[in-house]
Amino acid sequence: MDVAQALRTRQSIRAFLPQAVDQATIEMILTLAATAPSGTNTQPWRVAVVTGESKVKLQTAIEAAFRANQAKSMEYKYYPDNWVSPYIERRRACGLQMYSTLEIKREDKQRQLDQWAANYRAFDAPVMLLFFIDKMMETGSYMDYGMFLQSIMLAAVEQGLGTCPQAALGEFPQIVKEQLGYSDDQVLLGGMALGYPDMSALVNSYRTPREPVESFTKFFN
């Protein structure tokens, strides 16, 4: 598989087969991803690989907090406070596309709630990756982290695996840190579901659109 094919093939997977991913494969993916560039080679990534009983225990606690309406407390701002065009329209279209595919109607609040709760189980993937960064690091290191995350996703595609990057897994950092033993010197950025995709699942049948190059690019000759 070449890079172009991996880029075109990658999508956010929200349903997975129960097949386990062996540790050697995960280590290989992370080894490849660690070749991603970072400013002055700081390599700011810290990764927790959560599987088996540890995953069940953690996801149960996070989902319970969500269903109990416990306040979310992400340790950094992922989204703007005030949405403007064209971002608000894209955000709405993204959610509508998923709910329309699953035939979840606007008035069906319970199904909407249950679908969102799946985020906190990493969509029942066998592997939940959680990403931390030292609190003292600045914005440039967050840019570096994005390249590392994309590298994980592309390396996973080559292995026949699917991923879904998830800011939602960063919404209850204290639960995660307490269960996994991370200190408050670390910022929980979010997580990623990793596993073998169930392409028969309806939720994996749609693809979100992308803007054409001319809409976001200016060429200066």
CATH number at residue 134: 3.40.109.10
Provide the pLDDT confidence category of residue 38 given band limits of 50, 70 and 90: very high
Q: Are 130 and 191 in contact (CB under 8 A)?
A: yes
Residue 77, SS3 per DSSP: coil
Q: What was the pLDDT predicted at 151?
A: 98
Specify the number of domains making up the chain. Answer: 1
Res. 201: pLDDT tops 90: yes
Is residue 60 a part of any domain in this protein?
yes
What distance lies between CA 32 and its chain's CA centroid?
A: 18
Res. 8: pLDDT tops 90: yes
Quote the percentage of the chain above a pLDDT of 70.
100
Provide the pLDDT confidence category of residue 220 given band limits of 50, 70 and 90: very high
Is residue 136 a part of any domain in this protein?
yes
Res. 126: pLDDT tops 90: yes
Q: What was the pLDDT predicted at 23?
A: 98
Q: What was the pLDDT predicted at 106?
A: 87
Is residue 157 a part of any domain in this protein?
yes
Is the pTM for the entire model greater than 0.85?
yes
Is residue 214 a part of any domain in this protein?
no
List, for residues 135-187, the tens digit of each pLDDT value: 999 999 999 999 999 999 999 999 999 999 999 999 999 999 999 999 999 99
As given in the structure block, the two tokens for residue 142 are 């967050």
List b or e across 198-212, with b for residues whose CB sees 16 or more CB atoms inside 10 angstroms.
beeeebbeeeeeeee
Is residue 106 a part of any domain in this protein?
no
If DSSP states are collapsed to H, E and C, what string results for 114-160? Answer: HHHHHHHHHHHCCEEEEEEEECCCCHHHHHHHHHHHHHHHHHHHHCC
Is residue 38 a part of any domain in this protein?
yes
Q: Are 121 and 6 in contact (CB under 8 A)?
A: no
Res. 216: pLDDT tops 90: yes
Per the structure, the complete domain to which residue 165 belongs is given by 3-77+120-207
Using alpha carbons, select from 9, 4, 12, 3 the residue that is nearest to residue 191: 12
Residue given tokens 């490849």 in the structure block: 32
Main-chain phi, psi angles of 46, to 5 degrees = -135, 125
Q: What was the pLDDT predicted at 76?
A: 96
How does DSSP classify residue 16? B
Q: Are 163 and 33 in contact (CB under 8 A)?
A: no
Is residue 98 a part of any domain in this protein?
no
Is residue 221 a part of any domain in this protein?
no
Quote the percentage of the chain above a pLDDT of 90.
99
Average pLDDT over residues 129-136: 98
Q: How big is the chain, counted in residues?
A: 221
